Amino acid sequence: MHMRLKTALLSGAAIGLALGAGAPVRAADMFSESAGLAPAVDVLNGKVEGFGGWADGRFGRSGDFVGGGLASVTLPLGERFGAQVDGIAASKRGDFVGGGAGHLFTRDPASYLFGVYGSGIGFDDRLNSWNAKIGAEGEAYFGRLTLSGVLGYERIGGGSSATERTRKGGSFFDYVDVSYYVTDDWKVSAGHRYTGRKHAAALGTEIALPVAGFDSSAFVEGRLGEKDYKAVWGGLKVYFGGGDKTLIARHRESDPPNWLKDDLFATSSRKRRSAGVTPPPPPPTCGGESSCGPCYPQ
């Protein structure tokens, strides 16, 4: 595995640990429990998910397949604060992708979430591509409607030359969703993504699907944007901790979103160059005579 990929993985893990370990637990205790607010995170919980689909190419073509797994652990920090650490391991067009993220937030499950977010992800492609983000995360709850998103700064790296690396640089990014719970166990969403200097529309749905006594769900998501930026994937999530909950309750009382699937498409993972023989140059053209000796290029 390339050194830059290892650096990106370590950076993502470090961000998650820093946000979790450095949380102001004592500050949380300053809030009075008599205020009647529910805790930011009700209990230690987690989730794992697997997904598969296609990105940036022809849907259904094996060479453009993307898939992998994600995991999150969310823990309460006193009454008013919480932290979450995310991880991803995936394959995109045959290249390994890995990284992590961290959330540190305060939340009233009846009205809002606000916090900070950081992530790092690396591609084991020929360009050693990587992407790192830092920003503010928020959610607002209005009955069955949820507004959620992350806004901040991202840095994109990797490249086969100093010029190519410089062109990548940094820029603003956003992940924004408007979600509506048709029922307590069925969510539909639409939103916007700007990452990797590409705008895209985001559509998705998730429905609770209890399996073997665990809270679980099935989901489908799609992206459609500029520069032929498109993707579709689907998969399953399994939730742990927190008891038997509806989908809307789990999303507002337990875990914030794991955004790392979108980081997969923040950097365009190019295919490795083939090791084939360089084709010979085309033969020179003749000067116009039908029977000449040596030919001279025009």
Answer whether residue 296 is part of any domain.
no
Domain total in the chain: 1
**At 221, which CATH number?**
2.40.160.40
Answer whether residue 291 is part of any domain.
no
> Tens of pLDDT along the chain (298 residues)?
444 444 444 445 444 444 444 443 333 333 334 346 889 999 999 999 999 998 775 555 555 788 999 999 999 999 999 999 999 999 887 889 999 999 999 999 999 999 999 999 998 877 788 899 999 999 999 999 999 999 999 998 876 555 455 456 788 999 999 999 999 999 999 999 998 888 999 999 999 987 767 889 999 999 998 877 788 999 999 999 888 899 999 999 999 999 999 887 766 544 443 334 444 455 555 555 444 555 544 4
The CA-atom distances, in angstroms, between 267 and each of 131, 132, 204 are 7, 10, 21
Answer whether residue 125 is part of any domain.
yes
Question: What is the pLDDT, as a whole number, of residue 233?
Answer: 93
Answer whether residue 278 is part of any domain.
no
DSSP string, 14-42: HHHHHHHHT--HHHHHTS-GGG-PPPSSS
Answer whether residue 298 is part of any domain.
no
Domain range for 39 is 3-263
Q: Is the dihedral of CA 213, 233, 191, 44 positive or negative?
A: positive
Answer whether residue 286 is part of any domain.
no
Answer whether residue 207 is part of any domain.
yes
Question: What is the pLDDT, as a whole number, of residue 3?
Answer: 45
